[in-house]
Amino acid sequence: MFSAKALFQEIIDNDDSYRLFCSIAASGEAQGGWENGRIAALLPPAMAGLAPKVARHGADEDKHGRIFQALLRKRGLTAADVPEETDYTMLLERRGIGLAHDKLRRDAPLSELDIITYLSHSRVTEQRAADQMDMLTKYFGDHPEVGKAIRMISNDEDNHLAYCHEELLRLARAGHGRTIQRILHECANAEIAVYRDVSLAVMDHMGRILKWPAAKSAVLRAGIRAMYGYERAGGWRRMVSLSMPERRDALGGPATSTAEFA
């Protein structure tokens, strides 16, 4: 009844819903940039070779945050406050997924297990990001206002996902396979529930902004819950499998600049 393309078009066409969408996205990307920056600075000595890639990951996330801010400015909008119930990163942390921010704020080096946790968490969340950007690229990759941003971010997310696969496989070969699979399963089970909750919250806010009729909102909520049911039944497996990516050493070079987007 309601296609993803039609829904996103409706969100883009309204300044208030577009403002909320870009604000949520910018906040999440900036948070990811900070996390990766801290992890790069706190890597254990034995894993210091990962520092350029982790830093590149963080630089990409920071860039994405700036891109969403630039999209707002181009329309003459300022960032909106992000409702707590739509804060994907914070809600994952509250469930104990990934590395706690308290730990990242300290100056003590992280452990090898911390880095395995970080990479496993990233493998799951980057799968979600890559899937979302693939969908947006399919429908809006040629859009005159947001198309270039979507294509750039989508390419970066594919790089991030490839990097996670490659590094986790390297660690699995070093004897950490069972630990990696355990953490991947824990992250995936938590992520699909958080994604459901955040999706319901975002749709609720968008429905109020866009004045959707109750029937439309009910159908969308049912669709989100149905997707969660599919993921709980087995769709989560795409988030925990590991395979050598076609893009090797995907984060081995410098990050592209936001100037390319502008």
Q: Residue 4 has what pLDDT?
A: 85
pLDDT tens digit string along 213-233? 999 999 999 999 999 999 999
Would the pLDDT of 262 be above 60?
A: no
Percent of the chain with pLDDT over 70: 96
Q: Residue 3 has what pLDDT?
A: 84
CATH number for the domain including 147? 1.20.1260.10
Average pLDDT over residues 9-20: 97
Residue range(s) defining the domain that contains residue 40: 4-260
pLDDT tens digit string along 100-128? 999 999 999 999 999 999 999 999 999 99
Helices (DSSP H) in 106-213: which residue ranges?
A: 112-140, 147-171, 177-210
Per-chain mean pLDDT for the chain: 95
Is residue 204 packed enough to be buried (19+ CB in 10 Å), middle (13-18) or exposed (0-12)?
middle
Cα atoms in the 13 Å half-sphere on the side-chain side of 27: 18
Number of domains in the chain: 1
pLDDT tens digit string along 37-85? 999 999 999 999 999 999 999 999 999 999 999 999 999 999 999 999 9
Residue 147 vs residues 59, 106, 144, 236: alpha-carbon distances, Å: 21, 39, 6, 29
